[in-house]
Amino acid sequence: MSAVTDTPPQLTLAPKARGGLIQSAHDSLVVAKRNLRRMMRIPEVVIFGLVQPIMFVVLFSYVFGGSVNVGGTSDANSYREFLMAGIFAQTVTFATAGAGAGIADDMSKGLIDRFRSLPMSRGAVLTGRTLADSVQTALTIVVLACVGLLVGWRIHNGIPKMFGAFALLLLLGYAFSWIGALIGLSVRSPEAATSGGLIWLFPVTFVSNAFVSPQFMPAWLRHVAEWNPFSATVQASRVLFGNPGVVHSGAWPMAHPVWASLAWSVLIIAVFRTWAVRKYRSATA
C-alpha cells in the first residue's frame, strides 16, 4: 500500500520590482506613454485645459490692461507684455490640480494596485504620470503663446532666451506636479484632490509678481511675494523674454531670478518626489 503525500500549495509571491536607473527610466516612459494615450482618447480634457488660460489672457488683457501701472506707464500693451509671464507660470502650476486628480482617480479604481503587481520600479508610476502631464502642459504653453502674440505680447531677447524661459516654466510645472501627486495619494477621491490642489495654488500665484508689482504691497507681504518660488520663475521669464515689469529688489531671488528659479524647482522636486514615492509605497503596501 503506497503512502499518499500531499504536496504543499505553492505560495504566490508578488513580482519583485526591478531596480536600476535605466530600468526605472524605461518603466517611467512606459507609464507616461500610457497616460498620453489616455489623454488622446479623452480630448475634452485637453481642450478644457486650454480654454481656462486663454480666458485669463483675454480677460486680464482687456479688463485690467490700461488700469495697472507697469514701469511708470499705464499703457495697455505694456501690461499685456507684463501679464504673459504671469499667465504662463499660472498655467503650468494650475496643471498640478489635474495631476493630483488623475492619481487619485487611479488609486480609487485600483489601477495603482495593478501596477504594483508588475515587476516595475515603484517610483515609475508617479514619474510617468508627471511626465505625461508635462507634455500636456507644453502643448498648452504653445497655444497660449500664440494667443499672447495675438493680443500684443512680444519677445525682445531672441529665440535662445525664449526657449530658456519656457524651459524654466516647464520645470516649475513639473516640480509642482509632484506636490499634486502627493495630494492625490493623500485623499480618497479625485474631487478632493482637485479642491486640495487649488486651495494652496491661489495664494501662491496671487501673492506674487504675476499680475501686479510687489512694490505696491504692504512690506511684509512684499517680502513673501519676492521669496515666492512662483515669483522667481515669473521674474526670470520676464528677464529672458525682455518684457516690462522686472522687479528691482534687494531680495536674492529677484536679483538672480534665473538661478533662483532653477534652485527652487530642483529643491521642490527633490523634496516632494521623495515624499510622494514614500507615500505611494506605504499606500499600496
**Residue 220 pLDDT greater than 80, yes or no:** yes
Q: What sign does the dihedral 77-252-203-85 (CA atoms) show?
A: positive
pLDDT digits (tens, 9 = 90+) for 32-49: 888 788 777 777 777 777
**Residue 10 pLDDT greater than 50, yes or no:** no
pLDDT digits (tens, 9 = 90+) for 242-263: 998 888 888 999 999 999 999 9
Contacts of 244 (CB under 8 A, 6+ apart): 70, 71, 78, 81, 82, 238
d(CA 264, CA 242): 22
**Residue 156 pLDDT greater than 70, yes or no:** yes
Average pLDDT of the chain is 83
Q: What sign does the dihedral 63-53-228-237 (CA atoms) show?
A: negative
Give the pLDDT confidence score for residue 278 in this predicted structure. 87
pLDDT digits (tens, 9 = 90+) for 54-102: 888 888 877 776 666 676 555 667 888 888 999 999 999 988 887 788 7
Give the pLDDT confidence score for residue 197 in this predicted structure. 78
**Residue 127 pLDDT greater than 90, yes or no:** no
**Residue 6 pLDDT greater than 60, yes or no:** no
176 or 186, which is more confident? 176
167, 92, 164: which is closest to 130 by C-alpha? 92
Give the pLDDT confidence score for residue 13 in this predicted structure. 43
pLDDT > 90 fraction of the chain, expressed in percent and rounded: 35
Residue ranges of domains in the chain: 22-64+73-283
Give the pLDDT confidence score for residue 7 in this predicted structure. 46
Give the pLDDT confidence score for residue 99 in this predicted structure. 79
**Residue 1 pLDDT greater than 60, yes or no:** no
**Residue 285 pLDDT greater than 70, yes or no:** no
Give the pLDDT confidence score for residue 168 in this predicted structure. 97
The half-sphere exposure of 132 on its side-chain side, counting CA atoms within 13 A, is: 27
Give the pLDDT confidence score for residue 20 in this predicted structure. 66
**Residue 174 pLDDT greater than 70, yes or no:** yes
